[in-house]
Chains A and B, each alone.
Chain A
Amino acid sequence: MPRKRRSHDRSGIAFISPGMLMLGLFMLVPTVYAIWSSLYSTRLIGGRSFSGLDNYLTVFQSAEFWSGVLRVLVFGAIQVPLTLALAFAFAALFDAGVIRGSKFFRTVFFMPFAVPGVVASVMWSFLLLPQFGPYAEILSGLGLKGVNFFSSGMIVPTIMLIVIWEWTGYNMTILFTSLKSIPREVSEAAIMEGASLWTIVTKIKLPMVMPTIVMLAFLNSVGALQLFTEPSILAAFQPQAVSFGFTPSLFVYNTAVGSGQYELGAAAAVILALIIGAISVGGFLVRRRNGEFR
């Protein structure tokens, strides 16, 4: 028995090694390199030297970095529930089979996900232009004149709009698949008992796909905390709207590439990773204590 098991292991290793090699080369090695280089400083005058935790101290004292962290936390707290609520609503609608051509609409709703984030950001930055965009025109037709989607108060909601547009379809598809896997008998039994469609969706199906929603909430939250593509593209069109440390990832990018302080950027990236890790683990522990993970 043990011998057979070992040959099984060997073929297993062969199968996973390409993936592990990629993971090692493009994830683990850069991670270790980033942590190592975050302990150094390179100066234009004086060159590279070991600086210990100085870079971490600089990031900890940077108000700009922390304001970015706060911004993505608020962003995630609003964007993630909204996206998931919308995604579930559409998935439940299509699953209930009350809509004709649901296959067509599911494809349409999924389409934004096929549009790269860069393209989506470019597209929306034109659609939302304050003076010429169709949306500004529609709003002014409704009596809301001079709405600037890129003003300092509106920029976060605007990015939420773009991100929700991009990701609702993706989340919907996963939830739809999850809903489809619920056996038909469950709904049939509920209908026999006289439950309304609303009751079936909210009281039976929603709890049954909760593990999927929890998983999506986690993935979406990590995505929100790493927010980068949309603001960085918008910055090219609306340079006044997106600041140096608008999100922690932008802070990392601008520090490393824009200011040439790669080591300081690496330190900020490590801190951001630890924040995301802590939030994820904390959220997981709370949920597990509540008995949500089954």
Chain B
Amino acid sequence: MTLRKMRRTPPRPRARALKIVPLVTAVVSVIALSGCSGGSDASATVAASPSSTTTASCSSGATQLTFWGWPAGYDLAVDEFNKTHPNICVALENAGASAQEYTKLTDALKAGSGTPDIATIEYFELPSFEITNSLVDLSAFDLASVKATAAPVAWSQVSRGPAVYAMPVDLGPLALFYNQKQFQAAGVQVPATWDDFAAAADTLHAKDPTVAITNFDPTNAQATLALMQQSGAFPFTYSGGSDLGINFTGAKQTAFAAYWQKLISAKEVTTAADFSPAQWSNLDSGANAARLSPAWGPVGMQLSIKNTIGDWNTAPLPQSTAGQTASGNWGGSSLAVVKGTPHAAEAAEFVKWFGGSDASWKILSGDVGGAFPSYLPLLNDTTFQNKTLPITGSTTPNSTFATAAKSVENPQWPPIMTAALTQWTSTFAGVVNGDQTLQQAFATFQDQMTTYAKSQGFTVTGS
């Protein structure tokens, strides 16, 4: 470009073209964004390659099944199944974890092609796929034997009336995972009730203002809902159909919010994001003396801390009233057979084996998988219950978690959990910032979820 050209006024038509181009470019690119961003986001986080590594041992005449799943160790279990079941060949594919898989599954169901025969679905998400009539009712496939070996809370989450929409695999019952050395040094007893817990928090904080008894991340929907469940304050009621109960502002929910808000305001609990480096550092430095941990928590935690390995012990969650044994469930998943599969019987055989056999659980609960079973024969097994971990020294966390697994009430997950989880973090971030109280966030969320559920055609009953 020469100086003369630059100074010369271009002819008018060019200027007019310029005027239109930006508008068109902008309009087109922004609208396209809503379509393309989902794909790029998913591809950024899907770790495993789409091709499966579990089909090496398959014989050529076997029935081919596709299985979407992400948890660690699943490939080993599928491999074992293929070796011992020559007529069926299961190909495990990683379609992303949790919400990413659900988005893909929803899209494939809408498109009517590309659905797997079997999909890993967390308990809370099952009703969302039930309501769209996307899952095969497994009750026709002789489930009596596996029903008998599943923990009741797991079974109730996969069934609705006589229908069974998935085979339960693992669970995440909550317990109080605490730093025994720190509790002893501060002269604090293991709290039996939530009142005791608040008193212990007070004592610990008074002795050392840098110490908070635990971390309570209000932006973590699943953890918060599990604790609400334990307090009898679970906010949703749903039993299929178009009636949905949403209650974040009832007496029990408000009491729950007030209890935790008081501890947050007094800085007697921290509000770091769960699984953040900050949380691990707090647990390792003594800034947090305990963790309200799901059963699958300690295995991961011992990889993220180092100073306090061996100091941790497990006790039942504090109770609303002394003498109760209630727990809540955070996490765990099931295997569902997806509608449209031409091999429902074979898929049912696979999911029954996967969630309900010794052979499978030997692998799933091993060092690679580390899943906490809903499978009663393993839950009740003394070797399993007496297992120790480096983080727990000579204490046996599984014995406490196994008891907790049997005392969880069935949470009635609503069929709008994807939207609830997407909105939750945003709404509850203000509690962490100190911009609003947990009670206020509950009230906001009540409005948001009610509006959303109504827009989806539900008849909503509130508090």
The residue among A34, A265, A273 with the most chain B CB atoms within 10 A of its own CB is: A273
Given A208-B3, A272-B30, the answer on whether A253 and B38 have CB atoms closer than 8 Å is yes
Q: Within the complex, which residue of A131, A228, A274 is in contact with B27, where a contact is CB–CB below 8 Å?
A: A274
Q: Are A27 and B422 in contact (CB under 8 A)?
A: no
B207 within 8 A of A: no
A171-225 with Cβ < 8 A to chain B: 178, 181-183, 186, 208, 211, 218, 222
Q: Which residues of B contact A265 (CB under 8 A)?
A: 34
Q: Which residues of B contact A268 (CB under 8 A)?
A: 34
Chain A interface main SS type: helix
Q: Are B41 and A34 in contact (CB under 8 A)?
A: no
A69 to B428, CA, bound (A): 21
A98 within 8 A of B: no
A11-65 with Cβ < 8 A to chain B: 26-28, 30-31, 34-35, 41, 43-46
Q: Are B26 and A280 in contact (CB under 8 A)?
A: yes
Q: Are A226 and B30 in contact (CB under 8 A)?
A: yes
Q: Which residues of B contact A31 (CB under 8 A)?
A: 27-28, 31-32
Q: Which residues of B contact A140 (CB under 8 A)?
A: none
A208-258 with Cβ < 8 A to chain B: 208, 211, 218, 222, 226, 228, 232-233, 235-241, 243-245, 249, 252-254, 256-258
Q: Are A238 and B415 in contact (CB under 8 A)?
A: no
Q: Are B31 and A259 in contact (CB under 8 A)?
A: no
A260 within 8 A of B: yes
Q: Are A240 and B32 in contact (CB under 8 A)?
A: no
A129 within 8 A of B: yes
Number of chain A residues whose Cβ lies closer than 8 Å to a Cβ of chain B: 70
Interface string of A257-273 (1 = CB under 8 A from B): 11111100110111011
Q: Are A258 and B418 in contact (CB under 8 A)?
A: yes
B345 within 8 A of A: no
Q: Within the complex, which residue of B8, B416, B421, B425 is in contact with A294, where a contact is CB–CB below 8 Å?
A: B8
Tell me which of B259-267, B349-357, B452-460 binds A.
Answer: B452-460
Nearest-neighbour CB distance to chain A for B450, whole angstroms, equals 14
Nearest-neighbour CB distance to chain A for B34, whole angstroms, equals 4
B144 within 8 A of A: no
Interface string of B27-44 (1 = CB under 8 A from A): 111111111011001001
Q: Are B6 and A253 in contact (CB under 8 A)?
A: no
Who on chain A is nearest to B106 by CB?
A260
Q: Are B30 and A257 in contact (CB under 8 A)?
A: no
Nearest-neighbour CB distance to chain B for A119, whole angstroms, equals 9
A77 within 8 A of B: no
Given A28-B28, A35-B31, A273-B30, the answer on whether A257 and B38 have CB atoms closer than 8 Å is yes
Known: A181-B2, A258-B423, A259-B419. 17 other contacts (CB 8 A): A44-B132, A44-B458, A45-B458, A118-B44, A130-B278, A132-B277, A186-B3, A208-B3, A252-B33, A253-B34, A253-B37, A257-B37, A258-B99, A266-B34, A274-B27, A276-B26, A277-B26
User: Which are the 10 A-B pairs with shortest beta-carbon distances?
Assistant: A258-B422, A45-B457, A244-B426, A273-B30, A43-B457, A259-B419, A243-B426, A273-B27, A46-B457, A269-B34
Q: Which residues of chain B have a CB within 8 Å of any CB of chain A?
A: 1-3, 6-10, 15, 18-19, 22-23, 25-35, 37-38, 41, 44-45, 99, 103, 106, 131-132, 219, 242, 273, 276-278, 281, 415-416, 418-419, 421-423, 425-427, 429, 432-433, 435, 452, 455-458
29 pairs, CB–CB < 8 Å, chain A vs chain B: A27-B28, A31-B28, A34-B31, A41-B455, A45-B131, A46-B457, A132-B277, A181-B1, A236-B45, A239-B429, A240-B432, A243-B425, A243-B429, A252-B33, A252-B34, A258-B419, A259-B422, A259-B423, A260-B418, A266-B31, A266-B34, A268-B34, A269-B30, A276-B26, A277-B27, A280-B22, A293-B15, A294-B7, A294-B10
